[in-house]
Structure 1
Amino acid sequence: MNGTQYHIGVEATIDVIGGKWKPVILCHLKHGKMRTSELKKAIPQITQKMLTQQLRELEKDQIINRIVYQQVPPKVEYEISEYGSTLNLLLEHLCKWGELHVQKRKENGEEVELNSVEFIDVV
């Protein structure tokens, strides 16, 4: 076999959505279409170069759609693709776990802050 070989399924998942930024980008896009500038504003720590790179990779893997509007000035939006929406449950679980983790760290006396909470009350 000359192609990519994975030993367990999670390797293939991490290959597509792994890293620091892709899950964050996808969590923002699950609320609807966003322009690059809106994503940059929502994720202030990411550089423009990294955001562009991550969006291109997610588009290449067919996780997101890039929508180009033929107008002046040009307008581009991103949305989760139908295929990418199959990750929604996984992303939801990651968000829930992260919120619980932050809560646990606070209970242990750490100074940690979470600016957006979506699921903590549901758990």
Structure 2
Amino acid sequence: MTEKKNECGVKYTLDVLENRWRPRIIFWLGFRPFTIEELHQLLPDLTDVALNKEITSLQNLRIINPVVDEEHKYSLTNDGNDLRNMVVATSVWGRQQIDDSANQVSAQIVEPEKDASMAELIKYNEELDKYM
């Protein structure tokens, strides 16, 4: 997938993000650090094996920190945070284009508070579905 280092930057980025789950994993881990159990709550359709595979892959790409913190939580690297900013911006742009094409006014997306409960974050997935 991303082994072809001599291709253009846009292609490389799209290859990293082509998977359905990676933008969401990047979104959530850039929101705040989470344990594997919390990520499962936020991504309930992703199996244990698949989630672990995606985390390992994103660690190998230097997007997720290779070492979890003392609370066993995963987080993004600086490059991962840069990628998250781009993912959020392109997701909002894409949603606005979809809404414009349907002659609808785009709702303003607002991220939850950093200290939001897991229940609030799980509910936020409904809003996130419109963007990612």
The percent of aligned pairs where both chains have the same amino acid is 22
Query: What is the aligned counterpart of 1:93 among 89, 92, 97?
Result: 89
Tell me the TM-score normalized by structure 2: 0.65
Could you say which structure has the larger radius of gyration? 1
Match of 1:41 in 2: 41
Whole-Å separation in 2 of the counterparts to 1:106 and 1:76:
44
**Higher relative CO (CA 8 A, sep ≥ 6), structure 1 or 2?**
2
Match of 1:77 in 2: 73
Whole-Å separation in 1 of the counterparts to 2:97 and 2:79:
29
Match of 1:72 in 2: none
Whole-Å separation in 2 of the counterparts to 1:104 and 1:44:
31
User: Which has the larger share of helix?
Assistant: 2
- Runs of 4 or more consecutive aligned structure 1 residues displaced over 2 Å after TM superposition: 3-8, 14-18, 97-108
Whole-Å separation in 1 of the counterparts to 2:127 and 2:35:
20
Tell me the TM-score normalized by structure 1: 0.69
Q: How many residues align?
A: 106
Give unpaired runs (5+ residues) of structure 2: 105-124
Give unpaired runs (5+ residues) of structure 1: 70-74, 109-113
Match of 1:116 in 2: 127
Whole-Å separation in 2 of the counterparts to 1:116 and 1:94:
16
Q: Which amino acid aligns with 2:81?
A: S
